[in-house]
Amino acid sequence: MWNTFTHSRIGLIIGLTMIMGMAAPTWALPLTFSYEGNVTNIKGKAKHRSTFEPVKGELFRLTYTFESTTSDILPASPTAGLYSGAIIDYSVTLESDIYSGTTGTIVIDNQGFAFGTYTVFDTFSISGLFLHGFQPTSFFVLFDDFSHKTFLDDSLPLTQPDPRDFDLSFLQLEFREPRTQDLITIIARNNIQIDTFGSGGNAVPEPSTLLLLGSGIVALGLWRYNQRSLSL
């Protein structure tokens, strides 16, 4: 009988510990944000712009996944955060063409010293089909808040920033002609919205958290079973 009672108490303690642990669960580190808009501008040499003119109005979609625990390489600055390599996967869709990559950088700048208040870009890993003989070279998204009050600090946002909270927003995809090195930039400007393809920053429990939950339920179940056995 002592063993049954002891096991019951141990089961109860384990179960309560597991449940208490769930009050502050460990969240999955990668988050996915996604935006879309329609192409409004074509920039670059005038002799090339007419070739790309039909791209105007096409859907421009960006989806990127990043590690939310990436360290700021500017820790001494309370207003500017540089998260190099935070992006681990992304895709840029221009109508039916898809460009993708496996790395990228996120900048949080509350003073306007760098690119914008919230900037995401990659110039190293992007790949995809040539467009009118031009090779994809980089993608860029910028949200700028001239009041610098959108973010409380320079931490990576864990909830997807809403373009409506900013004064300026645009998505940009750059192409280069390999032989002449001429550039063409395709831009969706100030018509950006949150795209439902992303998670919007809704993190989900990691497998370890789910295991914690399951273990707690099993432990409590064993405790209830032993209590019933004691009452018989």
Q: Are 108 and 81 spatial neighbours (Cβ–Cβ below 8 Å)?
A: yes
The answer to whether residue 227 scores a pLDDT higher than 50 is no
Whole-model pTM: value is: 0.74
Q: Over 80: is that where the pLDDT of 208 sits?
A: no
Averaged pLDDT for residues 172-184: 97
Per-residue pLDDT at 205 exceeds 60: no
pLDDT: is 72 or 25 the higher one? 72
Residue 232, pLDDT score = 52
> So what's the pLDDT on residue 78?
85
Number of alpha helices (DSSP H) and beta strands (DSSP E) in the chain: 3, 11
Mean pLDDT of 82-93: 96
Average pLDDT value over all residues in the chain = 81
**Two structure tokens written together for 78:** 């309370």
pLDDT at 38 over 50: yes
pLDDT score of 77 = 86
* Separation between Cα atoms, residue 158 and residue 69, nearest integer Å: 10
46 vs 199 pLDDT, higher one? 46
Taking the CA atoms of 46, 48, 51 and 53 in sequence, report the sign of the dihedral they define.
Answer: negative
- Domain borders along the chain are 1-26+205-232, 27-204
Once rounded to an integer, what is the mean pLDDT over residues 146-155?
Answer: 89
Band (113; pLDDT cuts 50, 70, 90): low
Percent of the chain topping pLDDT 70: 71
The fraction of the chain above a pLDDT of 90, given in percent, is: 63
